[in-house]
Structure 1
């Protein structure tokens, strides 16, 4: 997959089958669009491409909003390539771009620069200044400018539309199974293993503290069953998101106890994939009660079928 930060870097004049949007999470609804895009490309001998924005436009329009995303840019690139996209445009949402009307965007970017012949958009997608671009505009312009346009229906699970917002809400409620079902894969968080207070090792549960990307959404505070990936190997783990209230902690930390593992992994990159929710964050009366609960969590994790 080729990745472009600027349209001027794209030199191929082979026509494109393209979709545009944020694609945060690259969830099953997005995958439906991607699969259709790839089929159209094969049928019509077109290259495939996705045009998305980085950073998220909401950071520009609502700078005080504490928006967290389902994907880092690297995760989004990985998923797009995994699903078979040929070209990915990661456009900065700068002042010039945000002032383009929907029609200007179609004429100047999609047609003149990218030579789009087939355009697919999601069921609720709008674009351009003041959201002036929509499916009706695309239908009107398609005849004049010589491209085809298709609007995808929403993908449903249990009669509910899948959306990035609904996935964020599920994660924020600790509903890992629901979030993963809509994503089509296990929600993951990556980061570097850093030094912590090392309290866990004193009670028989040494944990790896993970320094995560500040842009990435963390599920609600609590304990989780996770897959842990280190140096290409998979382990079972129990992960805690919280402030360690039992020992009067204040800073939010992400810590994982890795079952059947005893290696020094400081400064290593680690990925955890969330599989199930164990319980909310608890302030125990003392370390003895904490250890009892950790013993229970370890049994549940050990018996969990990955």
Structure 2
């Protein structure tokens, strides 16, 4: 799979493709259905399938602190696209210049001049361009003028409800990881590099791996039963994700994982933490001793659930 960062990196060889556009946060089952349609159409016409995404996501650009928490970072999203058989990803920087493009300018500069689009797959509620002035009907008219076809993607539902990134965030907030797995088509996980932290876990009797989040906000908050695959072996443990209100910190979300009966060196490794069950919300304790007792209770509860 090829990643192209920005319109200025498009070359003549990139023209002529089948395209879809969106944030694709989570790359959930609904997204996967769109990507499957894209891949199938690209195979039928013998052209590459291209996904156009934005970094940052538009709502992160307009209101970073109020934007919904990321389900997938760019690196993870790209890996999931590759698993889905996508040939090319065009990642556009969402900045003032892109924001001010009219719908007509977006079609002309990105889809026609940049990609030479032959077929476009989008949701019938897709909006784009300055002030979100472009819609599905506008794309259909543009396709007639510029010679590309446009199809709307079918809504994918689970238990009668549309699968969306918003619904997935709500399900994760409620701690329903079984439903989250059905919406995603895989268990919910967070991948990041293990960094050196404050070593507070060691002082509290439960050393933890500090997993880099690289998010303004985290999609989870609390204490969870988790697992991690290391060198072909599933390691079981407990994770805390939140701002650590009991200890003085930077106010940013952190992911700390304690693995049972493990004393290996994880520093610098990229790891994937799989979430299975929420044990409790994050809370502020009056003392480190009270926090230590709560951690011991969390570990005991998780061990019992794991049958350890």
Establish whether TM, by shorter chain, passes 0.5: yes
Q: Relative to structure 2, which stretch is displaced further, 273-282 or 153-162?
A: 273-282
Please say if residues 224 and 240 of structure 1, whose CA atoms lie closer than 8 Å, have aligned partners that are also in contact: yes
Cα RMSD after superposing both structures:
2.5
Cα deviation code 1:16-66 (max 9, x no counterpart): 110001111111111111000000011111111000101111122224425
Cα deviation code 1:77-129 (max 9, x no counterpart): 11111111100001001222212221221123211221101000024211111
Distance change (3 Å), C-alpha of 1:249 and 1:201: closer
Q: Relative to structure 2, which stretch is displaced further, 179-188 or 211-220?
A: 211-220
Q: 1: distance between equivalents of 2:193 and 2:219?
A: 12
Deviating above 6 A after TM superposition, structure 1's stretches of 4 or more consecutive aligned residues are none
* Aligned-pair CA distance for 1:293: 4.4
Alignment correspondent of 1:166: 167
Q: List aligned pairs for 1:216-255, cutoff 5 A.
A: 217-221=218-222, 223-230=223-230, 233-242=233-242, 248-251=246-249, 253-255=254-256
Q: List aligned pairs for 1:208-223, cutoff 5 A.
A: 208-215=209-216, 217-221=218-222, 223=223
Equivalent residues, number: 299
**Pick aligned residue for 2:301 from 278, 296, 301:** 296
Please say if residues 55 and 93 of structure 2, whose CA atoms lie closer than 8 Å, have aligned partners that are also in contact: yes
Cα deviation code 1:188-210 (max 9, x no counterpart): 2223232334445654x432232
Q: 1: distance between equivalents of 2:291 and 2:184?
A: 38
Q: TM-score, normalised by structure 1?
A: 0.87
Q: 1: distance between equivalents of 2:14 and 2:294?
A: 66
Alignment correspondent of 1:49: 50
Structure 2, unaligned runs of 5 or more: none
Q: Relative to structure 2, which stretch is displaced further, 84-93 or 207-216?
A: 207-216
Q: Relative to structure 2, which stretch is displaced further, 145-154 or 249-258?
A: 249-258
Structure 1, unaligned runs of 5 or more: none
* Aligned-pair CA distance for 1:224: 1.5
Q: 1: distance between equivalents of 2:79 and 2:198?
A: 30
Alignment correspondent of 1:194: 196
* Aligned-pair CA distance for 1:181: 2.1
1:27 equivalent to 2:28? Answer yes
Q: 2: distance between equivalents of 1:160 and 1:7?
A: 36
> SS where residue 263 of structure 2 aligns?
coil
Alignment correspondent of 2:278: 277
Please say if residues 194 and 209 of structure 2, whose CA atoms lie closer than 8 Å, have aligned partners that are also in contact: no
